[in-house]
Structure 1
């Protein structure tokens, strides 16, 4: 199946799942698992996206990272289709981007792209090779081509597929660690 067709189907599937009580349960499990990860405990500067309703909720994870004294850096898209990670603190004002994603409003906020760990969002992930399907802008693939932080993804049951049935391509960067709800978590060799 081509990426565009699969992406539309997956967005609809995730939107329906977001309305279920099961999503909140799975999000809580994934947050707990993430907080126990050695990669996260050892990292000082962590990149993350402020999640949309259909994505795994990152709000509690972000709050726990702040409580642990971690540097939290929020994704911000640029007009040239690049992406930066901007300092995000409890008092930071956010605004909705043209993609509907909440981003740091202050254009002069500190930027840090040499992160210790990056929590990579996605619509779908393959268990076999850790490829991900994003929203189609290529922002994360371009970022990961330039910077090589350790990567993890929080993957609920509706996002995990045995294989990349959406036609993954060579420039699609795999994620190092997939945190899943029911299956054993999977790490790949870098």
Structure 2
């Protein structure tokens, strides 16, 4: 994006700086900032023409989503746009083990972190309640597993890493962590056998001047 639009400035924000590339690997109109956006986006009001956020469905509570959206509106210029790209979390064509893991994860995330794993479906309403307009959402299928080639393998690896990071989940399932890791192997097998997929939802919304 920065190479395609050299007259624009791009700022990447993440709570973990280890995701940032080395400074010699990106052009001069890009910079990265380590920040926890749950404490607010560290920029003045009406700074940006466009704000993009992706795959944050498991990072925030519903209240934090609302507060973050309000802060995004604050830093957006009038007639600026926000775009979100999130998975709908729950898989389709899933096997018994996949269903067990996903349903346990939804319960555990709500109890442990207050996170609603179905938050993606609520984002249009959250956008609207914070004053955004021209809201449009598009859903596309997101294949999970090597049955769909390189892209499916990539999405599977991402989902498996996410599940593996839920170190509190085995307790809710009544099994050991070692047994849980074995279940993740079955999850991979089921995905390939059943041609598992989920959905990605891309939402666009505008900050409109209200006179």
> Which one has the bigger helix percentage?
2
So what's the TM-score if we normalise by structure 1?
0.35
- Asked which structure has the greater RCO (Cα within 8 Å, sep 6+), the reply is 2
So what's the TM-score if we normalise by structure 2?
0.32
